[in-house]
Amino acid sequence: MRPKEIIIVFLFLTFGLALRLYNLHERTSFNADQEWLAFRSAEVFKGDLPLLGPTTSVGSFSIGPGYIYLLSIFGLFTNNAPITGAYLSVFLGVVTLLFIYFFTKYFIDQKVAYLILFLTSISFNLISWDQLPWAPSLFYLSQIILLIGAFLSNKNQIGYFLMALGFTLGFQSHFGIVLSIISLIPYLIIVRPVKPSKKTIIATLLIILVGLLPNMLFDLTHEFINFKRIAIALKGDGSDYFVSLNKIINVLSYNITGIIYPKNNSIVDVVLTKSLFALILVNAISLLRDRKYRKISLLLLITAFVPAVLFYLQQGKFSEYYLMMSVPSLIFLFALFLNRISEGRMVLLIMLLVSIYLNGKEFINKNIPWNLKAKEETVASIIEKGGRSNYGISLTTSLGNNFGLKYILKYNEITADMPPKQGETKIFSIIIPEGFDGMVGMEDHGGIGLRWQGI
């Protein structure tokens, strides 16, 4: 990289990082997934090494524990504070931005790489994704590495290593990586990758083995219970969870057009996003006749839409956000479109201004109810009024909204009784959301009510 390029990329990444860190405590959540990961990662350096990662929502199959280890490393610098996961997620998001730049630079165009890096740096949707701390934070990065490996595989043996690495990282992030691998099969059949040498085969298998080894060790010592859960994950009735084809198209179109137009509320929004989506697809299909961009366009089209087709055919087995594996491919299809219209500077300028305005507006108005800051302020108020012990804490919450509080209370060394013991007179009541079940707090912290008696 030349000095000028380094400076431009550094400035864009720094700006993207600043946006993702801005008021992070009140722009991130700390709920069920975050609490589980926080408790688990805090035990790693105490010698309790996990062999399994988080479980899938369907079938309770456990992915790899890699994300837990990453979180524990970050915890060394934050003393395992509740915000640790958000910092890790932001870090992974910025690394993903860098990989988006490199992919676009080397496989599409240098100038377009600058533009797509800026647009993804300020994208409200991507910022929101990067501020959510959970294992799928690693998914976009693993998917891009997988795409790079697949594209390089028809010329260079390194492609096999990268595909193995992408799969391994993806397996630490989400079960959806399986759909990503399946979607690569038709592309590899068409382009015919170079024949791998014995050393390549061995090295590739070793990479995959390292990634799967913890899960394999667990299954070997637990009667293959986790492996058996795959069958449960693959079962299901489409009538249990049905998403129409139109809804899938809406999700795909918004995933790509949301970079510059993060609105999907009115008929005008739908028309604009669908129209842009259609233009991007037409451009990608037309490039199949272009020798320079044929293979990259084919790869991106297949990896964007084959998972969507699989999802539609296998409904009831997976949740809708499994379509996230198509996001990197859609971003690069958009980059191909920008490359096609790059000579129309006025069009690009208008697109850029619209993106800055709309993403800025969404960014300013972002509101996360019962966010991490609200929960931390609620706990801080309890400590101020009652100390850290000799009282009870009662939770009055709608289903699931109490998640996160146990870890925050433990982190602040609160040893109060939760729930309160029978006959206890000193009690704090936490109400989420404020007003739930007719209860109103004496204090309100970001939509969380706090009451007390006997204090």
- Confirm if 288 and 190 have CB atoms less than 8 A apart: no
Main-chain dihedrals φ then ψ at residue 367, nearest 5 degrees: -140, 120
Q: Tell me the pLDDT of the chain (455 aa) as tens digits.
A: 888 999 999 999 999 999 999 999 999 999 988 999 999 999 999 999 999 999 876 667 899 999 999 999 999 999 999 999 999 999 999 999 999 999 999 999 999 999 999 999 999 999 999 999 999 999 999 999 999 999 999 989 999 999 999 999 999 998 889 889 999 999 999 999 999 999 999 999 999 999 999 999 999 999 889 888 877 666 655 445 556 677 788 888 888 888 888 887 788 888 888 999 999 999 999 999 999 999 999 999 999 998 888 777 766 555 566 678 899 999 999 999 999 998 888 989 999 999 999 999 999 999 998 899 999 999 999 999 999 999 999 888 776 655 788 999 999 999 999 889 988 899 999 998 888 888 888 999 999 999 999 88
Positive or negative: CA dihedral 56, 61, 65, 68: positive
Model pLDDT, residue 317: 56
Enumerate the H helices of 318-397 as residue ranges.
327-340, 345-365, 372-386
* Cβ–Cβ < 8 Å for 369, 433: yes
CA-to-CA dists, residue 95 to 100, 345, 396, angstroms: 9, 29, 40
pTM, 2 dp: 0.93
State the pLDDT at residue 246. Answer: 75
Strands 448-453 and 427-432: antiparallel
Instruction: Give the residues across from 261 on adjacent strands.
Output: none
CA–CA separation, 150 and 153 (whole Å): 5
Q: What is the pLDDT of residue 236?
A: 54
Phi (first) and psi of residue 98, to 5 degrees: -65, -40
Are 9 and 429 spatial neighbours (Cβ–Cβ below 8 Å)? Answer: no
| Per-residue pLDDT at 198 | 93
Q: Which residue, 156, 178, 157, 154, is CA-closest to 166?
A: 178
Token duo for residue 266: 């009115």
Provide CB contacts within 8 A for 394, sequence distance 6+.
418, 419, 420, 427, 428, 429, 430
Q: What is the CB neighbour count within 10 angstroms for residue 51?
A: 18
